[in-house]
Amino acid sequence: MTHVMHRLLKTPYPRAVGGDGPYLIDSTGKRYIDSASGAGVSCLGHSAASVSDAIARQTKELGYVYNAYFTTDVLERFADALVEMTPQGLDWVFPGSGGSESMDGALKLALQFHDENGQPQRRKFISRRQSYHGCTIGALSVSGNRMRRMLFEKFLPETIQISPCYEYRDRRVDETAEAYSQRLANELDAEIERQGPDTVAAFVAETVVGATAGSIPPTPDYFRLIKKVCEKHGVLFIADEILSGCGRTGTYLSIEQDGVTPDLAVVAKGLGAGYQPLSAILVSDKIVQTIASGRGFFFHGHTYNGHATAAAAGLAVIETIRERKLLDNVRNMGALMIDRLNDRLGNHPHVGNIRGRGLLIGVELVQDRATKKPFAGERMLWNAIQKAAFARGLLCYPGFGTADGVDGDHVLLAPPFIINEDHVGEIVDKLAPSIDEALTQTGKAA
């Protein structure tokens, strides 16, 4: 009997009781290797003493102050450290407690920026199909994923969706990657023109598409060309780095690898590494100065923005990443994981594509490798993979609707940054038979 309203209301949940590096332990003593860091969160694993000690120290000193009245040393130090980690041009931190919350804040910052700038008519947001930016009304309204929107569609503010950058499915055989990037940038340009350039507030995109399509990195040049189009029309570019940020792809922000500085970037998940709920909007100086010289305050705020204990956790996470040089490990283990997956699954008849950046990796499953035909959504292959992996002591993050929002399956791997070669081997050794078992169980001929 439970009084907790869990997400799944018909399924009993195992009870997690402890953690040991990249492993979670349940109440029966069973150990699970966490190849997804929960949902891309626990980047330091489940027993990072540097973070739990920092939290304990902070709660003894001062747990919380109201952000309308005070700042704290720990919040200032956290913001300094975060700005130091991020590309030049993102010099301000608006802290929060979760990805969706901060994504809503970023949308409102864009609206307020244009309003202060004498362009209050810029109210439209353009994002991409197959995207996920969060479950609050604002964040969901710019999310392109059909399944996640479905139930709430009529209540969502209208936004505009264009094509994602999905090379495996959408680049034509006769097209170079550069030409494909240019085609997508042209699509954004045409859409802004169609909407009326002075009505568009911002373009929103995940730097690496995460949970809804299984780690799809952009093609080279894609974001550079997209940013050029945004600049041409005075449209802000909001990078959703909630999953891909904080070191997950081998640089602190993934967008650094695309040679672009967004106007706003949102980070969450790995920021507090799961030890505290923590997120942040990274804001360019242009936006802050415009608001500072206008109304002088951001028309938005939550009770827990700038929470001292969460900031202590965030600071300790950044320090741990730096001291242990974990971004090097992310790059090395990410490359190794892709190699091992290719060795083991590269010729599998139902593995269509293995891709990723750093330790954000996707395996896309297909009915037919030649045609890339996905499995039907109702087959729920992803769910069977999750169950088969769970039974083997592997936590992974399978998803559905990969191909078009309804059909298709993938497995997302986003293990903690602290993994070593043995952990990579264990993950691949447990994933491969889980995929085969799920295919057999759900019937190969769907």
Q: How many CB atoms lie within 10 A of CB 328?
A: 11
DSSP helix/strand/coil, 247: coil
Q: Which is nearer to ligand PLP, 22 or 272 (CB)?
A: 272
Question: Should residue 206 be labelled a site residue for ligand PLP when binding is judged by CB under 6 A?
Answer: yes
Q: What is the CA 121 to chain-centroid distance, rounded?
A: 30
Question: Should residue 164 be labelled a site residue for ligand PLP when binding is judged by CB under 6 A?
Answer: no
Angle at 116 between CA 111 and CA 120, to 5 degrees: 55
Minimum Å distance from CB 61 to ligand PLP?
27
Residue 244, burial from CB neighbour count under 10 angstroms (0-12, 13-18, 19+): buried
Minimum Å distance from CB 44 to ligand PLP?
17
- E strand or H helix that includes residue 75: helix 73-85
Interface stretch with ligand PLP, choices 9-17, 45-53, 92-100, 438-446 (CB under 6 A): 92-100
Q: Using the rule CB under 6 A, which residue among 242, 253, 255, 280 binds ligand PLP?
A: 242
Q: Which of residues 269-328 bind ligand PLP (CB under 6 A)?
A: none
Question: Should residue 147 be labelled a site residue for ligand PLP when binding is judged by CB under 6 A?
Answer: no
By beta carbon distance, the residue nearest ligand PLP is: 99
Q: Using the rule CB under 6 A, which residue among 42, 100, 181, 284 binds ligand PLP?
A: 100
Q: Which is nearer to ligand PLP, 211 or 354 (CB)?
A: 211
Question: Should residue 225 be labelled a site residue for ligand PLP when binding is judged by CB under 6 A?
Answer: no
Interface stretch with ligand PLP, choices 130-138, 221-229, 298-306, 360-368 (CB under 6 A): 130-138
Q: Which is nearer to ligand PLP, 401 or 442 (CB)?
A: 401
DSSP helix/strand/coil, 86: coil
Q: Which of residues 361-420 bind ligand PLP (CB under 6 A)?
A: none
Q: What six digits make up the tokens of 67?
A: 């952000």
Q: Which is nearer to ligand PLP, 210 or 217 (CB)?
A: 210
Minimum Å distance from CB 191 to ligand PLP?
21
DSSP helix/strand/coil, 184: helix
Question: Should residue 210 be labelled a site residue for ligand PLP when binding is judged by CB under 6 A?
Answer: yes
Binding footprint of ligand PLP, residue count (CB under 6 A): 15
> What is the C-alpha separation between 62 and 84, in angstroms, rounded?
25
Interface stretch with ligand PLP, choices 19-27, 186-194, 235-243, 282-290 (CB under 6 A): 235-243
Instruction: Please answer whether residues 273 and 48 qualify as being in contact, where contact means their C-beta atoms are separated by less than 8 angstroms.
Output: yes
Q: How many CB atoms lie within 10 A of CB 194?
A: 9
Minimum Å distance from CB 98 to ligand PLP?
4
Q: What six digits make up the tokens of 315?
A: 């600071």
Interface stretch with ligand PLP, choices 85-93, 98-106, 322-330, 401-409 (CB under 6 A): 98-106
Instruction: Please answer whether residues 189 and 232 qualify as being in contact, where contact means their C-beta atoms are separated by less than 8 angstroms.
Output: yes
Q: Which of residues 2-41 bind ligand PLP (CB under 6 A)?
A: 39
Q: DSSP secondary structure string, 315-383?
A: HHHHHHHHHTTHHHHHHHHHHHHHHHHHHHHTT-TTEEEEEEETTEEEEEE-SBTTTTBPPPGGG-HHH
Instruction: Please answer whether residues 315 and 58 qualify as being in contact, where contact means their C-beta atoms are separated by less than 8 angstroms.
Output: no
DSSP helix/strand/coil, 98: coil
Question: Should residue 132 be labelled a site residue for ligand PLP when binding is judged by CB under 6 A?
Answer: yes
Torsion angle (degrees, nearest 10) of CA 355, 358, 359, 360 = -50
Q: Which is nearer to ligand PLP, 82 or 268 (CB)?
A: 268
Question: Should residue 95 be labelled a site residue for ligand PLP when binding is judged by CB under 6 A?
Answer: no
Minimum Å distance from CB 103 to ligand PLP?
6
Q: What residues line the site for ligand PLP (CB under 6 A)?
A: 39, 98-100, 103, 132-134, 206, 210-211, 240, 242-243, 268
